[in-house]
Amino acid sequence: MKKLPLLFLILALALVACGGAEPTPTPVPPTAPPTAVPPTAAPTTEAPGSYVDTLTHVPDVSLINITWHWVRRDPNGNDIAEIVVPNPENYTLLFNEDGTFNAQVDCNQMNGRYATDAPGSIFMEAGAMTMAMCPEGSFSNDMLQMFGPAQDYRFEENGNTLVFSWVAGGPVDYYQNVVAPVAEVPGSMIDEMEHTPDPALIDKTWAWERRDPNGNDIPAIVIENPENYTIVFNEDGTYTAKVDCNVSGGRYATTPPDRIFIEAGFSSMAFCGETSYDQAMLQMFGPAQNYSFAEDGNVLVFSWAAGGPVDYYRLVPTVELPAPAEGMATGTVTAPDGIFLRTGPGVNYPYVGAAPEGTTGEIIGVSEDGQWWLANAPNLPGGQVWASAQWVEVSDADNVPVVAAPPAELTLTSVPWEWVSTTDAEVGEVFVADPTRYVVRFNADSSANIQADCNTVLASYTTDDSSISIMPGPSTLMACPEDSQADQFITQLSNAAIYFIQNGNLFLDLPFDSGTMRFVPQGTPPPVADAPAAEAEGRTFYLVSFGPTAAPQPVIEGTQITAHFANDTVSGNAGCNNYSGTVVPVDDYFQVTGILTTMMMCAEDVMAQEQAYLAGLGALAGYLWEQTLVGTGTLVTEGQLFYTLPDGTPGVMNFVATP
């Protein structure tokens, strides 16, 4: 069999990518005689064997289960340019023991097969890949060139650098294990200190909360998302840190009771955005400091030497998970700096604590999008927690049930709140021009983080039943634009006296009937008056059956197809891959255009079912929602989408949604 050129492979992948109220009917296509056409497309056939099939794959323990970051390409005498990758974390390889690999190719994800044969020999075959257009300057096409040619490989730097040498004198690629042990720096100040582990400091997750200038001519810093800026000190004198979008680590030494020196070691080098405080956090790795504890050991205070600024880190509780029973699905935390465990499958859910690297627990479910694992946590309220699948290695979890996201039970502390309006008796409701610039998050420890336009403010608050008192504290004191409502926002927050939550809104009453502030959860889209699928807005539907109108077939057992309508889009899982499309109004119904999917491969019958579903979604001709009385309002609990089958006959998709 001839090998396909890489360009042809990429083009081929691109083609693949490409008391209820009475129901109100919308146009339905005319019925047609029953047909035996099933709701699945013709099965696809596997491609003939490749060069990988001719090799005897012997897993190399030095290669597998490590995330390798591409750092450079040496032309090795060839007439090509040298490549030094500025963002290695965007070009990664992960080799699995079973002969498959996963790759991040800049803005795209890819998987494939590989085989390691005789010592130092490897062949990598590209598989399915997303086909996003990466930014100008991307090295994605350069990375893709290495999938196809046979290569030799070796290790350098004590196994922490993986070197690929293309056969026939081609270029040489270097990949780095960024979580490799930290090399000692000769002559470091740390070597002059006698490190004595401090039990109050080590094996705990500390989250950066704020920086006090301490009289220096620098701005104050108030961190809105402390979970993105954390540090864990290990007993052996090493540490790991999460520095916004990067992972860092190094050595430190403490001479109790109050002296510490932190030395930077490795760090990934991603650009975290203009508003990130990553560089500010990194400034503390190097200067000599004193440290102390406040609030009964729950706050770690770093005081820079020679009268420098002061940093405050708050202790994140460690969640104790019971050991999994024998034979149960198991998950182990792989993140060097640990992970945050949350009440739901998403960063919009509040975290309940952290789990350090190596923590093992029992997996009892998986989220609908497959991006979060549900773990057993009987000692916590609710008895379970969610962990990001990105940082958890699982075993025996193929058959755990899919668990729907819990409703975001809105409390004062559960979400950040955006200020949308203030109402008083004389003027009525006055709306905020841009609610995204005015946000307050109430934390469980009685602190609050406030975004007041261009400034961040650290505050404290107290509550007693429905009473509330908010006391703003340190602020960054930047000069905001002329249209800013920051002063009004802070003044009204300071005067708030009563709070209550109603219909998904937070209300803060001001004293003497001087007004009521209204907030919505951060990220809530503005109301859509004429959404094409308005009745279903914000609802997730589960496909029960689809196919010819007279004989719809149930979805394949063990698969789940979902459709979530929000903001003129529909998204979900098509049984194997996630998808999304744009909902476009057409007369008095709607159609779905621009459908995009991920590129995973599943069993042939599942893929055929998926293709048929997506084809039907792109050929809609009518719909019918059925509404049910739930509490004091109505919700869509069932629905039908009518479409046209490839042979021109009418088809139907039958959905249900739980209240």
Backbone angles phi, psi at 258, to 5 degrees: -150, 15
What residues contact residue 257 under an 8 Å CB cut-off, 6+ apart?
none
Q: How confident is the model at residue 408 (pLDDT cuts 50, 70, 90)?
A: low
Angstrom distance (rounded) from CA 596 to CA 576:
13
pLDDT (mean) for 631-647: 73
- For position 656, what pLDDT does the model report? 85
Which one, of 130, 281, 7, 109, lies nearest residue 596 by Cα? 130
Q: What is the mean pLDDT of residues 250-265?
A: 86
Q: Does residue 179 contact residue 247 with C-beta atoms inside 8 Å?
A: yes
What number is the average pLDDT over the span 166-185? 71
Q: Do 498 and 508 form a contact (C-beta atoms < 8 A)?
A: yes
Q: Is 115 helix (H, G, I), strand (E, B) or coil?
A: strand
pLDDT at 602 over 60: yes
Give which of 656, 616, 621 is closest to 41, Cα–Cα.
616
User: What whole-number distance in Å separates Cα of residue 43 and Cα of residue 559?
Assistant: 17
Once rounded to an integer, what is the mean pLDDT over residues 465-480? 88
CB atoms within 10 A of CB 421: 17
What is the rounded average pLDDT of the residues 271-292?
85
d(CA 84, CA 292): 42
Distance in angstroms (rounded) separating the CA atoms of residues 74 and 80:
9
CA distance 387 to 400: 15
- pLDDT value at 38 more than 80: no
Class of domain 189-316: mainly beta
Give start and end residues of each alpha helix (H) in 423-526.
486-495
User: Does the pLDDT value for residue 56 go beyond 90?
Assistant: no
The first and second tokens of residue 304, run together, are: 């820079």
Q: What amino acid occupies position 556?
A: I
Residue 43 CA to residue 604 CA, distance in Å, equals: 6
Residues 6+ apart with CB under 8 A from 97: 59, 64, 65
- What's the token pair of residue 439? 């946000």
Domain 49-177 falls under CATH 2.40.160.10: no
318/352 Cα distance (integer angstroms): 9
pLDDT of residue 247: 79
* Both tokens assigned to 376: 């057993």
* CB-based contact 184:251 (threshold 8 Å): yes
CA distance linking residue 390 with residue 289, whole number of Å: 34
Domain residue spans of the chain:
49-177, 189-316, 417-521, 527-656
> Cα separation of 518 and 500, whole Å?
10
- Count the Cβ atoms, other than its own, within 10 Å of residue 308: 19
pLDDT of residue 531: 52
Confidence label for 233 from pLDDT (cuts 50, 70 and 90): very high
Round the average pLDDT of the chain to a whole number and report it: 80
How many degrees, rounded to 5, is the angle at CA 49 between CA 44 and CA 52?
130
Q: How many CB atoms lie within 10 A of CB 430?
A: 12
Q: Are 147 and 125 in contact (CB under 8 A)?
A: yes
- Whether the pLDDT of residue 322 is over 80: the answer is yes
Classify burial at 483, counting beta carbons within 10 Å of its beta carbon; exposed 0-12, middle 13-18, buried 19 or more. Answer: exposed
Q: Is the bond preceding 39 in cis, omega lying within 30 degrees of 0? A: no
Nearest residue to 264 via CA among 240, 289, 245, 280: 240
Determine the pLDDT at residue 28: 39
Residue 132, pLDDT score: 67
Average pLDDT value for residue range 239-258: 85
Rounded Cα gap, residues 41 and 605, in angstroms:
9
Average pLDDT over residues 245-268: 83
| Cα distances (angstroms) measured from residue 639 to each of 480, 488, 506, 555 | 48, 46, 32, 16
What percent of the chain has pLDDT above 90? 23
Write down the pLDDT at residue 460.
Answer: 92
| Distances from the Cα of 138 to the Cα of 18, 88, 317, 443, angstroms | 22, 11, 40, 40
In DSSP notation, 203-240 reads: T-EEEEEEEE-TTSSS--EE-S-GGGEEEEE-TTSEEE
For residue 314, the cross-strand partners are 207, 299
Stretch among 95-109, 261-275, 317-331, 432-446 having the lowest mean pLDDT: 261-275
Instruction: Return d(Cα 368, Cα 574) in angstroms, integer.
Output: 11
Whether 182 has a pLDDT exceeding 50, the answer reads no
- Say which residue, 414 or 384, is predicted with more confidence: 384
d(CA 228, CA 340): 10
Q: Categorize the per-residue pLDDT at 471 as very low, low, confident or very high, splitting at 50, 70 and 90.
A: very high
The pLDDT assigned to 50 comes to 62
Taking the CA of residue 82 as centre, how many other CA atoms within 13 Å lie in the half-sphere pointing to its CB?
A: 7
Count of helix runs (H) and strand runs (E) in the chain = 5, 44
Give the CATH number of domain 417-521: 2.40.128.270
Q: Beta 310-316 vs 428-431: how paired, if at all?
A: unpaired
Residues of 343-376 as b/e, b for ≥16 C-beta within 10 angstroms?
Answer: bbbeeebbbbbbbbbebbbbbbbbbbbeebbbbb
pLDDT tens for each residue of 74-93: 888 888 889 988 888 889 99
Residue 13 is inside which H or E element, if any?
helix 6-17
Residue 35, pLDDT score: 34
Buried b (16+ CB within 10 A) or exposed e, 104-118: bbbebebbbbbbbee
Amino acid at 177: N
pLDDT at 532: 57
CA 167/CA 281 separation, integer angstroms: 44
For the stretch 335-380, pLDDT in tens is 877 888 988 888 778 788 888 888 999 999 999 889 999 999 887 7
Tokens of 443: 């934390």
Question: What's the pLDDT tens digit per position in 124-172?
Answer: 888 777 766 778 888 988 898 888 777 889 988 878 889 998 877 788 9
Rounded to an integer, what distance in angstroms lies between the CA atom of residue 353 and that of residue 416? 18
CB 592 within 8 A of CB 581: yes
pTM for the whole thing? 0.44
Summarize the confidence of residues 299-317 as an average pLDDT. Answer: 88
Question: Architecture of domain 527-656 in CATH?
Answer: Beta Barrel (2.40)
The C-alpha atoms of residue 334 and residue 353 are separated, in whole angstroms, by: 16
Query: What would the two tokens of residue 264 be?
Result: 């930077």
| CA 369 – CA 144 distance, rounded (Å) | 27
